[in-house]
Amino acid sequence: MPFTVPPGSGKRVCIGGGANFIGSHLAKTLKQNSYHVICVDWVQNEFMKPDEFCDEFILGDLRQLSVCIGATKDCVHVYNLTADMGSMGFIESNQSVLTYINTSISINMLEASHRSLR
């Protein structure tokens, strides 16, 4: 059975890491199904212009709670596809730093999502 996305009817969704490969393709699919897609990332997508895959693009650092709160405001769904990465050598020599950064982003996105429900 093929996967189908239910119609969004303008519902707001936020995708952290929306400029990455998976994030931008998820965003594009949701946008095509009438969701209002907000993507947040600290880099631009190299292969698509923002209006090709989202309705709003926020160039921001999700390590900052204020950025997460602004991006997730009034969203019914929040996807966190963010990860600070690098080459295997970089990852191996910076495990604790990357773990801290990625965990901080996840906590910020969870907190912002929780606040958005109020």
pTM: 0.91
Q: 3-7, 84-88, 108-112 — which is least confidently predicted? A: 84-88
Residue 9, phi then psi, degrees to nearest 5: 50, 40
Measured from the Cβ of residue 28, the count of other Cβ atoms closer than 10 Å reads: 17
What's the whole-number mean pLDDT along residues 39-63?
Answer: 97
DSSP β-bridge partners for residue 59: 41
Domains of the chain by range and CATH? 12-116 (3.40.50.720)
Q: Is residue 13 within 8 Å of residue 30, measured between CB atoms?
A: yes
Q: What pLDDT is attached to residue 93? A: 83
What's the whole-number mean pLDDT along residues 68-72?
Answer: 98
Q: Is residue 22 within 8 Å of residue 79, measured between CB atoms?
A: no
Residue 74, phi then psi, degrees to nearest 5: 65, 20
Q: What pLDDT is attached to residue 18? A: 97
Q: What pLDDT is attached to residue 6? A: 86
What's the whole-number mean pLDDT along residues 31-54?
Answer: 97
What's the whole-number mean pLDDT along residues 8-26?
Answer: 96
With H, G, I as helix, E, B as strand and everything else as coil, classify residue 92.
Answer: helix
Residue bearing the bigger pLDDT, 65 or 91? 65
Q: What pLDDT is attached to residue 89? A: 83
